[in-house]
A = this chain, B = another copy of it.
Amino acid sequence: MSTPAKSTPGGPLVAIGGAEDKTSEAEILRRVLSLSKKEAPVVGVITTASSVPDDVFGEYHEVFSGLGASEVLDIRIRERSDAASEQFVEMIRNSDIVFISGGDQMRLTNILGASPAMETIRAGHQSGTVIAGTSAGAACQSQTMVYGGPATDSLRKGAVQMAAGFGLVDGIIIDTHFLERGRFSRLMEVGATNPEYLGVGLGEDAAVLFEGDVMRAFGPGHVIIVDSSQISGSNVFELSDGEAVTVHNVIMHALVDGYGFNLKDRRVLGPEELRTEGLEHWVANS
């Protein structure tokens, strides 16, 4: 088969496709909160990816407070020196949930990469802190991340722009706003260039929870799995940059709330197999 895709050992890791509901049922954010052990958890919000951190923090402050967070911390890391600041590191250390907002994933990896803040996030993840990210904050969770490429047709050699991410999940490439921006061809090109990587396309208001080999879908939106491990042919290595890529036998799955995927066996898991009621009480059942 292929390199096993899995999340690194640690606490709950949640990737959200962007534009999650913050004003109505807030289904996804509510569940993110419920994944912590605490009745009234402390949520640290990292807005590094965003160019409008005031607005973004304000929104999350309101929704997380409304959902029962005891505190919502403004971890306002804007440049690399901030990512070394003991003040922000301490905020991350005190968070039961670290929530990484959307924006530009390259800002995230550039500013947080190899920083004390990132070390603290990683240590928190290993000791059970909930790590959640939306849009750019989700895309950066994989070891190799997608950060650009035209939605209009990325099946052109070299069209998909990739860079190194934070590596909280292995063997997976996460893409976001997936159905809404028609990004299927991005993950098809990723699969053509390396069939070992499993593509996880998160729609808006859709999320996945990684637990070891299992990935659970939740929220109102769709999660599309792009499995290229069985591809039977492609011309990608024969092409020059910009030429049209052919790729055959890509397997896709559309998952919705209650369904999951076994990353090791590359197999869809139905609700009965998943006992989805466990999702809201992740720690208790794990």
Contact = CB atoms under 8 A, between A and B. Distances in A.
A153 interface: yes
Interface residues of A, number: 38
A235 B249 contact: no
Contacts of A66: none
A252 B252 contact: yes
A179 B151 CA distance: 8
A246 B232 contact: no
Interface stretch (A84-92, A101-109, A116-124, A183-191): A183-191
A257 B184 CA distance: 20
Contacts of A251: 249-252
Q: Chain copies in the assembly?
A: 2
A4 interface: no
Interface in A241-273: 244-257, 259, 268, 270
**A interface majority secondary structure:** loop
A61 interface: no
B254 A246 contact: yes
Contacts of A220: 244
Given A182-B179, A203-B153, A254 B249 contact: no
Interface of A: 151-153, 155, 179-185, 188, 192, 203-204, 220-222, 232-233, 235, 244-257, 259, 268, 270
18 contacts: A152-B180, A153-B180, A153-B203, A153-B204, A155-B254, A180-B182, A182-B183, A182-B184, A222-B244, A245-B256, A246-B256, A247-B253, A248-B268, A249-B268, A250-B252, A250-B253, A250-B254, A252-B252
